[in-house]
Structure 1
Amino acid sequence: MREYRPADAPANDAPAVVYLHGGGWVVGDVDTYDELCIRIANASGGVVYSVDYRRAPECPYPAAADDAEAVVRWLAGNQSAAGVDPNRIVVAGDSAGGNLAAVVALRLRDQPLPDGVRLAGHLLFYPCIDASLSTESVEHYADGYFLTRAGMEWYWNHYCPDPATRMSPDASPINAVSLAGLPRLAVVVASHDPLRDEGFQYAERARDEGVDTVFREAVGQLHGFIRWTAIVDEATDTIEWVGELFRSWWGAVDSDGQNRAGE
């Protein structure tokens, strides 16, 4: 992983963001997400860890999810080495990385971190969390809007070659029996994106099941817009919004150091 530590971040007990890049679990890496991670670090004041997880087809499911979980567990368990406050760790990602962030949050809910440590929250940028590709937005924006339905099928086929496996909650978080007990959640979707509806449905369901949830729709935007800061003002505005959101999450950690998110 690659660390982005703002100049004013404390050397010890700093808040942190574990960032999981997009690319359909097949493409993308820490280099292609370098600028975005710098911007998130500057906007939030937290230390960002960009994870170079293993990718398909050489390393299919669950390799990427296992790597993402391993990074969070290592950071939470190595406070002195990392200089990170284990109760102020946020997991975030876009597209396939949003999938991984959701999976990590579910895994840590079901197999908690030691000593009562909990995630401060998780953020999903236009996540792909439903392998069925059956929503209305998938049909409406199937072609001609940057990300295509055919492209998503190609990514899922590489990441989860077994169609039965890809429908498990560990691959398609939308199929989790319950979302109750998850840490704070933020979901950002693009209005003209095949994945718009599954992100909205996940946020709506989480809120209905008692999860502290915020939802933001970038009107007029396409899948992937968050990295297009040179041409899309909404990308810059959203990153600034995320920075303020993370600061509020970190500030919600109790004075005794315990994170009560989701209780």
Structure 2
Amino acid sequence: MTIHPEIAKILAALPAPDGSPLDPAAMRAGEAAQVPPLEDRLPLHAVEDTTVPTPSGAVPVRIYTPAEAESYGLLVYIHGGAFFLGSLDTHDHVARSLAKETGCRVISVGYRLAPEAAFPAGLEDCYGVLRWAAEHGDQLQWNGRTLAVAGDSSGGNFAAAAAAMAKDDGFTGITHQILFYPSLDLDFDVDRYASLRENAEGYGLETAGLAPFNAFYLDNGADPADPRVSPIKRADLTGLPPALILTAEHDPLRDEGELYGKLLAAAGVQVQVSRYEGANHGFVANFSWLPEFYQAFRETAGFLAGTGAVTGAATGNGQA
């Protein structure tokens, strides 16, 4: 179907790329200026900023408690932003909605960004927080059942990589991985996936912009051939946690997310893949105010509760 009309209105108002070099500081400031004031955010029982100790150092986190309860599932959330943008604040609304709809205590990770932090600093921060959550279940009132890792876009890359790192370390405690329109293959050959050409222009994230946006990460020690950088290149996907993968119809990255679902299923991993029709890249972070895209949070809740169709790599429209 065509792009959602509300998304189309916003895309039409965006200035055309002028080819000037990307300025991380200016872009981060622009993002920060759009963060809504606290009083306009979804209210929850408690939201706490703190830092947690990890092998890579102290990592800022924001912990969201949806309601008062005796125990909670835990969900470690990793924001997107092409590895150099995004923050606890810019994706605060995503974490709040995840907490509200899933009932989990959500731990959002303020990992180190490129280019200031070289690979694998950001990934190590995320994995360290994931292990910290697992090791501090009593402190976090963990229910002993759900320990999920989730991320959108480049955060989905980190979530998938962290799940694989856990398996390699012999840590089997992760129960679910949730990947929203993940960036899983950082080899940007435009012929690798049909969606890179089908959705090359006009939908916000453009194929020509993938290389320059990810250059801050790739030029700072991240090798696209390394499965920690491109999780889809991992040779052995067996034993990874069940996965929910949400893709967007009008996204250059659509096909790599859906292929990853097929590869996981072929390796015996339980997978649920949903394609959101009429959506573009970033719809969970940018357009969840539209009911058909807010559905992503409810689908996540169903997946964690075991009520979704987690039987194989089946692609649906995500709007049911």
TM-score range, shorter chain: 0.7 to 0.9
Q: CA deviation at 1:87?
A: 4.7
* Counterpart residue type for residue 122 of structure 1: Q
What is the one-letter code of the residue matched to 2:110?
A: D
Partner of 1:255: none
User: Which structure is larger by alpha-carbon Rg, 1 or 2?
Assistant: 2
String of CA shifts for 1:53-76, please: whole Å, max 9, x gaps: 000010132111101100011111
* Map of 2:40 onto structure 1: none
Counterparts of 1:55 and 1:81, CA distance in 2: 28
> 8 Å contact 1:92–1:101 — kept in the other structure?
yes
Does 2:185 correspond to 1:130?
yes
**Structure with more contact order per residue of length (Cα contacts < 8 Å, sep ≥ 6):** 1
Q: Which residue of structure 2 aligns with residue 150 of structure 1?
A: 208
The residue aligned with 2:135 is 77
Residue 3 of structure 1, aligned match among 63, 66, 72: 63
Q: CA shift at 1:86, angstroms? A: 5.5
TM-score, structure 2 length as denominator? 0.73
CA distance in structure 1 between the aligned counterparts of 2:114 and 2:162, rounded to whole angstroms? 18
Note the 1:140-219 alignment, pairs <5 A.
Answer: 140-161=198-219, 165-219=223-277
> Partners in 2 of 1:190 and 1:9 — Cα distance?
34
User: What 5-or-longer segments of structure 2 have no aligned partner?
Assistant: 1-60, 308-320
RMSD: 1.8
Aligned partners of 2:119 and 2:222 also within 8 Å: no
Post-superposition Cα deviations, 1:222-249, rounded to whole Å, max 9, x if no partner, equal: 001112122x322211211111211228
SS at match of 2:274: strand
Structure 1: runs of 5+ lacking an equivalent: 250-263
- Taking a change above 3 Å as real, the CA distance of residues 157 and 44 of structure 1, as seen in their structure-2 partners, is same
Cα distance in 1, alignment partners of residues 147 and 213 from structure 2 = 29
- Which among 107, 118, 133 is matched to residue 173 of structure 2? 118
Q: What number of residue pairs does the alignment pair up?
A: 244
- Helix, strand or coil for the counterpart of 2:304? helix
Q: Which residue of 2 aligns with 1:54?
A: 112
Q: What TM-score do the two structures reach when normalised by structure 1?
A: 0.88
Instruction: Give the C-alpha shift of residue 166 in structure 1.
Output: 2.0
Contact 2:119 2:221 in 1 (8 A): no
Corresponding position of 2:35:
none
Stretches (4+) displaced over 3 A:
none
Kept in 2, the 8 Å contact 1:112–1:118? The answer is no
What aligned pairs does 1:23-42 form with structure 2 within 5 A after superposition?
A: 23-42=81-100
